Amino acid sequence: MEFELKSAVPGIDVPSSSTNESNNDHHDDDECDDRTTSPIQQQGDDYSIARDKPRRQIRKPARYTNDYLTAYALSIAQEVNDGVEPVSYTEVVSCVESSQWLGAMNEEIQSLYKNNTWTLTELPKDKRPLKCKWIYKKDGILGVENARCKARLFVKCFNQKEGIDFNEIFSTVVRHTSIRVLLAFVSLFDLELEQLDVKTAFLHGELEEEIYMEQPEGFIVPGKEHFVCRLKKSLYGLKQAPRQWYKRFDSFMIGQGYCRSQFDDCIYFQTFQDGSFIYLLLYVDDMLIASRDKFSIRKLKTQLSNEFEMKELGATKKILGMEIRRDRQAGKLFLSQQRYIEKVLDRFNMNDCKPVSTPLAAHFKLSSDLCPDTKEDMEYMSHVPYANAIGSLMYAMICTRPDLAYAVSMVSRYMHNPDKKH
């Protein structure tokens, strides 16, 4: 059996088996003498490992060689040029759709200037500026508009300190049960259902703290490079931005004579003398408006447009990932998450899975006894996106698939230590 000897002393090379085979002509007594003499003794009495050991040659790792760097750069450039959403301002400048992305950034900056979001000033000595970052995304509502380039300026909120940069951050959103109840009313009473979107919603909140931010990349004012932005209104990424937006919208709706529901803080309604009514549901910057009278809806849209920059989306076709389809003649309304579920299946490589009618068959018996107890099994399961899959199924369960509730509740019990059977 061939093997290779390893020296116990660093820097001392021991002949390998191939070297020994090449020296088979040596006498056996010479080999015995070599074995009885230690490597250090062969070097002499004045040998010092620290001083005389051979220095290893430092080589650059293969992944940092020029060839690999060039291949990596070309692959990234190819991805950007193929229409993939850029992740930095540098990629925006060099990509094929550069003009579209820069146009989206200009539109965002103009909206910030129009809203008087900040003023340029010198940074006080006792303050530190927050960093910011551009986020790029292609977005569009199916059946309403084509996908378009959108750019948003975000503040890096992980630099914020509680008590200095923010205090309260909690903000409510409408419940999914409230959305389903409203859709049931729409179907039952044949109401008009329309959708609105607030452009740059978080920019409307008034800040109560003194916050400074670095100037955004690509839009640094010449001659004022050392200046910073003193934020007057909230910005995307700030921890308090959702709450400040909700407080601003809530005060506006109350001022217009609307009442807030005592069961859901994001439901606003108003009744009129003729017995008609109008409902508005708010989920961050998405709004659903329902009423029998189109005139009431147009009036509310005008009031909102005078106060905020709105985008009218017409009849509701999609909300929170749920596609909405109406058959007004039959008095029916359908909800679907087909596209969402297809994305979930694609994410977890289950496009070709076998469909079944029962989410969890009766013969599946799950318990904590099935949890892995060996390090190998735990290591294997640590790479399985178990919790991600459950979260994705849970959102579908909440919105349109209550038939998944029992199965999701069963597998959720073992998220801390799941096994393959789970």
Supply the pTM of this predicted model.
0.64
Q: Is the dihedral of CA 179, 183, 189, 195 positive or negative?
A: positive
Q: CA-CA distances (angstroms) from residue 422 to 354, 410, 417? A: 18, 9, 10
What's the helix, strand, coil split of the chain in %, to 5?
A: 40, 20, 40
User: How many angstroms separate the CA atoms of 206 and 249, rounded?
Assistant: 11
Name the residue type at position 397: M
Closest to 321 in 3D by CA, of 396, 403, 394, 393: 396
Q: Tokens 């995307």 sit at which residue?
A: 236
Contact predicate 192/216, CB 8 Å: no
End-to-end C-alpha distance for the chain, whole angstroms: 46
Contact predicate 334/325, CB 8 Å: yes
Tell me the pLDDT of the chain (422 aa) as tens digits: 443 434 333 443 444 444 444 444 444 444 444 444 444 445 556 666 666 666 666 655 554 444 444 454 544 444 444 457 888 888 888 888 888 889 889 988 888 888 888 999 998 888 888 888 998 888 765 555 667 888 888 888 777 777 666 777 788 888 999 999 999 999 988 889 998 888 877 778 888 888 889 999 888 889 888 899 999 888 888 888 888 888 889 999 999 999 999 999 999 999 988 888 899 999 888 889 999 888 889 999 999 988 888 888 888 888 888 888 888 888 888 999 999 999 989 888 888 888 888 778 777 788 777 777 777 777 777 778 888 888 889 999 988 888 888 888 888 888 777 877 77
Residue by residue, what is the 3-state secondary structure of 150-204?
A: EEEEEECHHHCCECCCECCCCCCCCCHHHHHHHHHHHHHHCCEEEEEEECCHHHH
User: How many angstroms separate the CA atoms of 17 and 192, rounded?
Assistant: 87
Q: CA-CA distances (angstroms) from residue 393 to 4, 298, 386? A: 55, 38, 11
Contact predicate 189/299, CB 8 Å: no
pLDDT for 73 equals 52
pLDDT for 45 equals 60
pLDDT for 278 equals 92
User: How many angstroms separate the CA atoms of 285 and 109, rounded?
Assistant: 19
User: How many angstroms separate the CA atoms of 275 and 273, rounded?
Assistant: 5
Using CB atoms within 10 Å of the CB of residue 270, give its burial: 0 to 12 exposed, 13 to 18 middle, 19+ buried. Answer: middle
User: How many angstroms separate the CA atoms of 327 and 246, rounded?
Assistant: 34
The DSSP output letter for 58 is P
User: How many angstroms separate the CA atoms of 76 and 125, rounded?
Assistant: 41
Give the length of the chain: 422
Q: What is the DSSP string of 219-278?
A: -PPTT-TT-EEEEEE--TT-TTHHHHHHHHHHHHHHHTT-EE-SS-TTEEEEE-TTS-EE
Contact predicate 198/282, CB 8 Å: no
